[in-house]
Structure 1
Amino acid sequence: MFAGSPNAITQTTDGYLWIGTDAGLMRFDGVRFVPWAPANGQHLFPSSSIYSLLGGSDGSLWIGTGSNLARLKDGNLTNYANGLGRIDSIIEDHRHAIWIARTRSRDEGGPICEVTGPRLHCYGKADGVPIPYSNPLVEDGGGNLWIGAAEGAASWRPGSSTLYVPKGLKTAKGLSGVTSLATGADGSMWVGIDRHGRGVGLQQLIHGRWKPFVTPELDSSTLSVMSLLRDRENALWVATLNNGIYRLHNGKVDRFGAVDGLSGNTVSGFYEDREGNMWVATPEGIDCFRNLRVVSFSPREGLTDYSVESVLATREGDVWIGNFGGLDLLRNNHLSSIRQRQGLPGVRVTSLLEDRAGRLWLGVDDKLEVYEDHAFHPIKRSDGSQMGAVFAMAEDRDGSIWVEGLTRPTQLLRIRDRQVSEEFTLPPGVGAGALAPDPEGGFWLGITGGDLARYWNGRLEIFRSGASANSAVRQVSVEPDGTVLAATSVGLLMWKDGKFHTLTASNGLPCEGVFSFVLDSHGTLWLYTRCGVVEIAAVEFERWRKTPDARVNARLYDFQDGARPAMASFHPRASLTPDGRLWFATSVVVQMVDPNNLALNTIVPPVHVEEMIADRTSYPVQQGLRLPPRTRQIEIDYTALSFDAPKKVRFRYRLIGYDTDWQEPGARRQAFYSDLRPGKYRFHVIACNSDGLWNDVGADLNFVVLPAWYQTRCFLLLSIAAGICAVWIFYRLRVEQIARAIGVRFDERLAERTRIARDLHDTFLQTVQGSKLVADDALDESSDLARTRRALGQLSVWLEQATQESRAALNSLRTSTTERNDLAEAFRRALDDCRTLKSIAVTFSSPTPAKEMHPIVRDEVYRIGYEAIRNACKHSEASQLTVELSYSQDFSVRIHDNGIGIDPAVASVGKEGHFGLQGMRERASRIGGKLTIVSAPNSGTEVTLTVPGRIVFRRAHRSL
């Protein structure tokens, strides 16, 4: 893990742990060790070996190396003068002044120095310091500095000093002297002494007198002490050479060495962080000691073996432990054992029970014994045979002891007055797993398949839970109100009011495999499960009892809290002592939880953003960080500095400007984003410690993703301007198009009005004018009655003609205005009108089937044809008129008469003052048709109109 051996540990105010090694400086956040490297332009320490560290109250980190002192603050490194010698100790006194102790110095300045601004002021013999070199340095409660050296321990303050030399110290050959100092709670001074690894010991200096520390567990004079530390609980930690760690607290001595999991038996130093965790440096690594919520008792604490089968807490507070090779007893926090040589009638202790008289019942191998008055009394069947391995026991309301043995089929034995009075064999296929007395009488059993059964008055009643066939009931308990609780492999089972309910993961359990459970004196439910110890507060448990579908808030103590989940083979598996402590048998060790001493971690974890990585490039973490254009992948590394249980730290983060809500990454310490749009962002992260205490302030990082040239505001404005211009140009073009279309429609309407005016002028108005002349002529010769009568007759004829001509004009406007009008029928009506004006033979034919025509085109065709028919009837003096329609590939209409014909000049340019022929040509041109007029004097006239089919026919028009 480390390039060099760790020598020193400290914590800075930002929460980071720092480790000084022979190869440099490391930073630790509880999960990752990161080698420290100086920033650009800064120099490494003259010596890479670091022997001492101090986290200053101002947030600085003081670093003592083999030749100089350095200060790291806000990323800036300051190196003090080289040649100071090896810095073995750095302390901050009550005035927040920094002091160092040094050895192997090249100057005569003295063994201790005070940092004064950018310089060091050293104190030596001239200042009253009685020793030339110093290893440890501490400050006592009175403000005196204590200095340890080969000569002894010295107390010094400017103007006053005292040297304390242990008895025989000067005559001890090869003595390296005082290696460590620690203040005592009573004002004394603990002194650690080493004699080149051969040991001198741990001594205490009380009011100027030396007192060796010797207890039955430890003769400290044999130790070579390397470092001392008194923690916040006033326990003294002793680091030794080759003997591991000793912890002295309230007269009790505990030892930890390599056999106990320590990384090495040689310990160089300690550090207690602000959460109370103790960090230990050895040449092989770093170890952490902390108070566990779940405490284990094993052979290391005095148990017989690593095979705990059952645990029973008595009414007197004793804890009996069924083990392999002995019956263990924990009484007054002292462990003892009853083994075969002390009278135990067997090797393997199985099930345990305390009856109401206080006697201890226990299974030993295949026997049942009663332990009373320090003696074992066997219980046998009436035939003298043994009971078999005792799996579980219960005492019913009547005081009878019921015993379940590991037999096939399963048998239940009732024992009264130490005699077997009843034997009950369970039905085939029904195997019991647990027993519990019923307050109303009889007892309850947990049976195979996750079901329950009640035995009372010789009758067994089975209640099916509906659980899977593989589920098993591991413990049964009956509450005073008759509610039955059972630990099963699928959760906590409850039988209440004739119904089964199960507390599972869907209700908030961290895991569903429940080995055992116990209710403490406050009504809190404690479950021993396959993932650890689960605590469900009394109010939560009661809420679930009343509303089984409710979700409970459960708290888990897992392996990080010391839990070692496993299930013991016999009963009881969980028990409660009168002092409130909970005991669980695990088949390996006994585990204990003390609900009254589960101190919460009240230290809010500092949160830091550590690194920004964009497209595999690392950027320094600074506010206003600017990332290059077109950045695709972003990784933000963050951390929270809680060392109590680092893997239980939970995070929440959000990227303001992108995320709409908090993200829940759990324990992950990286956030990932991709394809962020250019703009300003603020990354905000918060965290909670292992006990759910949140740091809501958290940490922030403001950064900007720069835009590419096509993402800039100028480009956007230009694009908007270009878009506006394009829209304006399109608008102008569209306006002109609409204006042209409207102009065309106006021109068409004007042309139509002009045609109508021509029609009215050439027909209706001329007839009316002629009628007026006839009327005037009749009025001039009013005495000639015959003349007047002829004039009036002529006037009647002309008025009739005017009526017909006006009707014809209206028909030309209205007849073909509907889409479904029949062109052939329209021409027939026009021919009928022609016969009313003149006696003429008409012929109409349409040799091809009619096709649907576009109404506008058809209307123009009709008007052209109607004009030709009207001209033939009025001017041709013909006796025969033929009209022929053809619906072939193109449409054509031919109108032929046998009249006097048309003057070629009139046929080509029209007659002055008349617009009929001109209007016909205009209409034909408008619909893309071809109008042909063929005529000769006295040979008749033929008018032919041809219109392309793609224009006139409706289907062809739609396909265009």
Structure 2
Amino acid sequence: MPTLRLFLLFQVFLICKLIDAQKFQYVYHQEGDVPFKRVNQTIQDNKGYVWLATDRGLFRFDGKYFEDHNIALRSKSIRSFLRWDDQTVLFTNDTGIHRLIYDKTDPSISYFIKASEKAYPTSLFKDSKERLWTGQMDGSIVMYDTEKSDGIVFKLVEERKTEQISFGEDKFGTLWVLIPKGGLFYFDEISKTFTVLSGHTEANQLWVKNDEVWTVGRSIDKMVVDEDQKVESSTKYKTDKEFQHIAVTSTGTIFLATETEIFTFHPQGNITRLSKVFGSNDPHRVEELPFEGINHLNFSLNEMNLNHVVWVSSNDGMCLLWSSFFQNVSGLGYDNVMGLHANSNGEVLVSQGPVHRILNQGTSASFRKENDLNGITGIVSNNTDTWYGSTAGFIYHYRQGGLVKQYDLSDRGSGIFLMSKDHTGDIWFCQATSDKPLVGVAKIDSQGKVVAYGKEKGFDSRILIIREGGRNEFYAAGIGAESYLYKYNRDQDIFENKSLPFPFKVSSNFEVHDIAIDSMGIVWMATTDGLIKYDTETVRKVDLGEFTDGEVRSIVAMPNGLLWLSTDTNGLIHLDAEGNYVVFDEKSGTPSKVAAYRCLALDSNGQLWVGTAEGLVYSSETLPGPLQTKAPMVRSILVDNEQMPFEDVIHINEQELLKLEMTTLTFPSDDIKYQYKIIDGKIPQDEIVDIPWTPVQGSYLIPKNIISGSYKLWIRAQKQGGYAWSQPTKISLKVAGKWYTSWWAILLWTLCGFLFFWYFLRVWFLKRISGLQASLHQKQTELKQKEAELVSQSLSLKDKQEELKSTGANVYLLQRLIRQIPKNATWKETMPILKKLVELPTGIDAFEIAHKRGDDIIYSGFQRGSDIPVIRQEEFNEKNDLASYVLVTGKPLTIDDYEAEASQYISGKSSRGYASRLLLPIQQAKGTPAVLCVCHREKDMFSQLDLTLIQILGAFLSASVKDELK
């Protein structure tokens, strides 16, 4: 039974080796987004550009744009590349072998070797003897001793279509050739012939390094050979895959590819350990990469020459693969990290509720569940012994996997959220409050006794963090602007309050979440109000730009003096000694920008471990720091929207618009930010740093308002996802003044000015004389106009006088009329008297008294020129009758032009020949309303004075007439 169990465990181990996986971020360029479909091969030139051999020609890639370079080519079927020397790249198409070099800044293409009509070179290789070897489409091989050589043809197999013949050279100078499905051959320098090495007719590709010859196909074969091409040893790695390609990075990582999949291969004895490559642009997801017909694998190094970018050429485009700055532990859940501790032996303990022990191998990590624990929030270990603090207020002491002791501290408070070890071996811990305040900290001493440190030991507040520095200085930090930092005095066994007054404002709920003590003894505090630096004498807030006042939840000081911070919602921040900071977020491989409290740790390998709200990650490199973005390059220059060639110095005129398009040779480069500053040539060198950087929208830089002079244009770039700003690219710029500021223009302006002065002086005299004459004529005209105005004013004055006389007469007539109406008169007595309104010269052609009777309105009155009373009856309707309208509104109404104005009040337009009207509402003796109407046949006959007189008459009638019209 034990034997069977061991056998099953061994099989599981083998399976794990086969299914272990690697995750890469990726971008896939496919037809529709790019001007090609199939990519056969890629290569990077000495400037950093990547060239693509495609089914639609030759393209140059800068990380963002694909430039077409096919004008000089007769054939667009580009098949392969070869780096001939530091300056030259060779490539093949159906017409031969071509040379690609740079003529200053522009690429130049010319023939290297013209192919014969039946020769179609598909692969290239340069050996140590400077000979060029080519694989042909028909399966033959051609060797060229010099550029002008016709070449020596070797036919090693029967003629058939062969896509890619691979070459390699061992450390003894022996050339090895693999013809897919045709066999493995080596070249005998003495006989100048090829010899076949049996057993490799199923192989697809070859790779040679030192004395090792590798072939891949239905198996992976490794041979160690000597200088006589004898096989000293061979190893066959069995697999159920058929591999088409093998490629090895500069660090020795072996990549294998089938038609549709990519693996990394890590040989261990005879075990075939394959790690499949998956895509993972989101740390929470793992995706199958959609390869169809992989043609080639190539590698380029990132900005710090640390990790490789994998270039995958395939039948349906090109894919870039690259490792994230941070990696996750394969298989570990994306749960909130509650506790984190790094041991000195390279192991890391992490709690996400349950605890896992992570075994870190530098480039990969595995884990196992640690004991049967849950709800763990505090962890500390000295390798052999480990203490776990739980949310329930318990501490568990384990030694080599076995429980030694359990401490029940639930009566003191609730969860143990932080544990720390000092150099004497004491275990310190911070505990959350429950139903009563909890001041200070506590420790488990070397005897296993719990000792509390509260007010009697110097504390005034609750403590959230306690850590020891490299000089054995021991600090505790917590809550409050006056009690945020304490230092342990070992001689007196007390904590001393070292809190200095803040020279800046902090929030009322100020807390120190975490602290780090660097090699200089400086205390860096991660607080609710940002990062604070304390050096025993001063305290200041660190400038982090837009993140200065944001919450910092965790901090760690690196041995090289640099800092890593984790924030509440803005990801990680790296801070260097000069105060430069770089933000790391999901693009860097972290699963979340939300950090866990006090969950940053540096392990014994120098790798950074980061706990977030959605899982744990670790840095790919030791002592990690941001990668340096490559310096930007000028892609194009536009002056007033016209393309200009790039030279060492850019010359423009003051009024011209300069537009620079920038590019940065980083892959990919679709997330680059640019900044620039313009430096006057007269500015001292030490003042350049004070000139602020100007941000750029996109990749186009448009400096404005530059006056004439000599300048330096500094441009820097930053790639997102954990990259620092690049070193600036410096461009000389000379701005010529406007043409009219030159000496000859000034002389011309002076001469022209004199001529213009003489001309304008002469013209001025002539115009002056003409102007005086015109002025005299104008004065005469004005006098005539004044005379006419005086006459007009005189006539107007006479009209006013007549109007006043008329008004006075009307007042007199009204007075006489009112005197004739007896007191307590009836309407029957009053109406004959009112008839005089139309008999006397009052300016009234008709008058009426209107009153409502049932659904009708009754008009009673007289017209000028008639002795017969006028009595008429209309339907009472305020929309068709003016008197009805006035009865309803109760407001007087003046109509100067009945035809033009009546429609503003009613829809009916029966004027009865009267253009001007005054309608005045009056109250009869018992309060019944009536309307006094006066009319004139002409327009605009009633003034405001007339209205006033009628209002006086209406008021008198209301007061004097005792009965009512009914």
Please tell me whether the aligned partners of residues 404 and 410 of structure 1 are also in contact (alpha carbons under 8 angstroms).
no
Q: Structure 2: which amino acid aligns with 1:585?
A: G
Three-state SS of the structure 1 residue aligned to 2:755 is helix
Kept after mapping to 1: 8 A contact 2:637/2:644: yes
> 1:584 maps to which residue?
610
Asked if 2 retains the 8 angstrom alpha-carbon contact of 1:634 and 1:672, the reply is: yes
User: Higher relative contact order by CA 8 Å / sep ≥ 6: 1 or 2?
Assistant: 2
Instruction: Check if 1:527 corresponds to 2:565.
Output: yes
- The counterpart of 2:330, out of the listed 277, 291, 299, is 299
Q: For residues 398 and 603 of structure 1, what CA distance do their matches in structure 2 show? A: 44
Which of 363, 376, 392 does residue 418 from structure 2 map onto? 392
What is aligned with 1:243?
Answer: 261
After superposition, residues 121-136 of structure 1 pair within 5 angstroms as 121-125=151-155, 135-136=165-166
Does residue 271 of structure 1 match 2:309?
no
Give the share of equivalent positions with the same residue, in percent. Answer: 14
Q: Match for residue 14 of structure 1? A: 47
1:84 Cα deviation from its structure 2 partner: 5.2
* C-alpha distance in structure 1 between counterparts of 2:473 and 2:498, whole Å: 16
For residues 155-186 of structure 1, the C-alpha deviation after alignment (integer angstroms, 9 at most, x for no partner) is 2266434444453x55xxxxxx43322222x4
Are the counterparts in 2 of residues 304 and 325 from structure 1 also a CA contact under 8 Å? Answer: no
| Residues 126 and 132 in structure 2, CA contact (< 8 A), matched pair in contact too | yes
Aligned to 1:323: 352
SS in 2 for 1:726: helix
Verify: 1:518 aligned to 2:553, yes or no.
Answer: no
Distance in 2, matches of 1:37 and 1:564, equals 41
Question: Are the equivalent residues in 2 in contact too, given 1:511–1:531 (CA < 8 A)?
Answer: no
- The SS at the match of 1:723 is helix
Q: 2:873 matched to which residue of 1?
A: none
Change (3 A) 1:483 1:11: closer
Q: Given residue 166 of structure 2, which amino acid in structure 1 is its aligned partner?
A: P
Give the stretch that moved more between structures: 263-272 or 725-734. Answer: 725-734
Aligned position for 1:782: none
Shift of 1:404: 1.0
The structure in which a higher percent of residues are helix is 1
The reply on whether 1:57 has 2:82 as its aligned counterpart is no
For 2:398, the aligned partner's letter is Y
1:637 aligns with one of 648, 661, 673: 661
* Separation of aligned partners in 1, 2:409 and 2:514: 29
Match of 1:273, SS state, is strand
How much has 1:691 moved relative to structure 2? 6.3
Change (3 A) 1:93 1:636: farther
Equivalent in 194, 207, 215 of residue 191 of structure 1: 215
C-alpha distance after superposition, 1:511-564 (max 9, x if no partner):
854332223445554434566655556xx4xxxxxxxxxx74556666666566
Corresponding residue of 2:26: none
Q: Is the 8 A contact 1:309 1:568 kept in 2?
A: no
Contact 1:604–1:694 (8 Å) recurs in 2 = yes
Write the deviation string for residues 8-31 of structure 1: whole angstroms up to 9, x where unpaired. 11112232111223333332223x
Return the offset for 1:445. 3.8
Give TM-score scaled by structure 1 length. 0.58
Partner of 1:491: 530
**Separation in structure 1 between the aligned mates of residue 715 and residue 378 of structure 2, nearest angstrom:** 50
Residue 187 to residue 703, structure 1, CA distance change in 2 (3 Å): farther
Q: In the TM superposition, what are the counterparts of 1:614-693 in structure 2 within 5 Å?
A: 614-618=639-643, 633-643=657-667, 664=693, 669-672=699-702
Tell me, what secondary structure is at the counterpart of 1:222?
A: coil
Give the counterpart of 2:248 among 224, 230, 252.
Answer: 230
Equivalent residue in structure 2 for 1:153, among 161, 180, 184 = 184
Query: Partners in 2 of 1:289 and 1:702 — Cα distance?
Result: 42
| CA deviation after TM superposition for structure 1 residue 240, in Å | 2.6
User: Structure 1 regions of 5+ residues with no counterpart?
Assistant: 171-176, 194-198, 541-550, 737-960
Q: Which residue does 1:88 correspond to in 2?
A: 122
Kindly tell me: are residues 600 and 122 of structure 1, through their superposed partners in 2, closer, same or farther at Cα, counting changes over 3 Å? farther
Partner of 1:180: 205
Aligned to 1:925: none
Q: Equivalent residue for 2:408? A: 381
Alpha carbon RMSD of aligned pairs, Å? Answer: 5.5
Aligned match for 2:60, one of 22, 27, 31: 27
Residues 410 and 432 of structure 1 are in contact (CA less than 8 Å); yes or no, is this contact kept in structure 2? no
- Contact in 2 for aligned 1:5/1:22 (Cα 8 Å): yes
The one-character-per-residue Cα deviations of 1:103-127 (angstroms, maximum 9, x if unpaired) are 248xxxx3335385477635223xx
Aligned counterpart in structure 2 of residue 609 of structure 1, from 634, 639, 642: 634
Label 1:471 to 1:97 Cα distance change in 2 as closer, same or farther (>3 A). Answer: farther
2:834 maps to which residue? none
Q: What letter corresponds to residue 13 of structure 1 in structure 2?
A: N
What amino acid maps onto 2:635 in structure 1?
A: E
Q: What secondary structure, in the 3-state scheme, does the structure 2 residue paired with 1:359 have?
A: strand
Amino acid at match of 1:23: R
Matches within 5 A, 1:710-721: 716=745, 719-720=748-749
- Find 1:446's aligned residue among 461, 478, 496: 478
DSSP-derived class of the 1:154 partner: strand
The reply to whether residue 474 of structure 1 matches residue 474 of structure 2 is no
Tell me the SS of whatever aligns to 1:57: coil
Q: Deviations over 1:142-166 (max 9, x none)?
A: 4443322122122226643444445
Residue 311 (structure 1) shift? 1.8
Q: 1:256 aligns with which of 262, 277, 285?
A: 277
Output the CA distance in 2 between the equivalents of 1:43 and 1:621: 25
- How much does 1:461 deviate? 7.3
Higher Cα Rg: structure 1 or 2?
A: 1
- The answer to whether the 8 Å contact 2:174/2:187 transfers is yes
Alpha-carbon contact 1:450-1:472 (below 8 Å) kept = no
729 and 382 in structure 1: CA distance in 2 versus 1, 3 angstrom threshold: closer
**Between Structure 1 and Structure 2, how many residues are aligned?**
678
Q: 1:880-919 counterparts in 2 under 5 A?
A: none
SS at match of 2:252: coil
- In 2: Cα distance, 1:631 partner to 1:118 partner: 54
Gaps of 5+ in 2: 1-28, 281-285, 766-966
Q: TM-score, normalising length from structure 2?
A: 0.57
Alpha-carbon separation, structure 2, partners of 1:437 and 1:55: 55
**CA 1:579–1:721: 2 relative to 1, 3 Å:** closer
- SS of the aligned residue for 2:484 comes to strand
2:518 & 2:556 partners in 1: Cα distance?
12
Q: Structure 1 pair 448/719, CA: closer, same or farther in 2 (3 Å)?
A: same
Letter in 2 for 1:89: S
Closer, same or farther in 2 for the Cα pair 1:496/1:441, shift >3 Å? closer
